[in-house]
Chains A and B, each alone.
Chain A
Amino acid sequence: SQQGEEDPQALSIQEGENATMNCSYKTSINNLQWYRQNSGRGLVHLILIRSNEREKHSGRLRVTLDTSKKSSSLLITASRAADTASYFCATVRGGSYIPTFGRGTSLIVHP
């Protein structure tokens, strides 16, 4: 069963705009990860945020984590057509090293 659920399921924006995707989860976690998947390809790890962290940055990516609300957001700033992909959040519970993946957000960035 999915632990994390992404919202929205699909997002369509213009190049240059910011894209925000959200992930909600049900039980306490050790860390939360975001992955990217280009159509039909394997997932690629983007960023990991631990339960004692509130915000992390990596290039144009900004991830926040609110453990009180059991939610995370992924912000992609100044989006590019090449950012078109599906984005998945994955949660890791304490005592486990195995991430549980959500259903993903499909992002389309129009040039």
Chain B
Amino acid sequence: DADVTQTPRNRITKTGKRIMLECSQTKGHDRMYWYRQDPGLGLRLIYYSFDVKDINKGEISDGYSVSRQAQAKFSLSLESAIPNQTALYFCATSGRNQETQYFGPGTRLLVL
């Protein structure tokens, strides 16, 4: 089984809808991250969490919120989706004091 899983893998939604993307990991890592990837722009950090009680904004947090339900679970919510949030979203994890990141398979989101 994959160490980092994301659900759903694909999602189509309409402008104004609230949606949640979920991430689970079995690596036992403390640190979890949410990125979005747009063509030609690489990966940009949305939010990150160094442990269950720690949540930090990344480069592009506006329009997003997160919840760290447990060490193994980190969810990303779009409160009111807009078309320019159409992107590929990745969850990643890393161990404490380790810089190497382990990525999930991604969620492809289309906002109409």
Q: Does A56 touch B at the CB level, under 8 Å?
A: no
* Residue contact A41 to B105, C-beta cutoff 8 Å: yes
Q: How far is the CA of A33 from the CA of B92 in the complex (A)?
A: 15
Which residue of A40, A44, A101 is within 8 Å of B43 (Cβ)? A101
State which size class the interface on B falls in: 20 to 34
A-side residues, CB < 8 A to B, are 1-2, 30-31, 33, 40-45, 48, 88, 92, 97-104
| Consensus secondary structure, chain A interface | loop
Q: How far is the CA of A86 from the CA of B35 in the complex (A)?
A: 17
| Consensus secondary structure, chain B interface | strand
Nearest CB on B from A88, distance (A): 7
Digit string of B86-109 for contact with A (CB within 8 Å is 1, else 0)? 001010101001111111111010
Which of chain B's residues has its CB closest to A100's CB? B45
* Residue contact B42 to A40, C-beta cutoff 8 Å: no
Which residue of A44, A88, A97, A100 is within 8 Å of B98 (Cβ)? A97
Which residue of A42, A43, A99 is within 8 Å of B99 (Cβ)? A99
Residues of chain B with a CB closer than 8 A to A101's CB = 35, 42-44
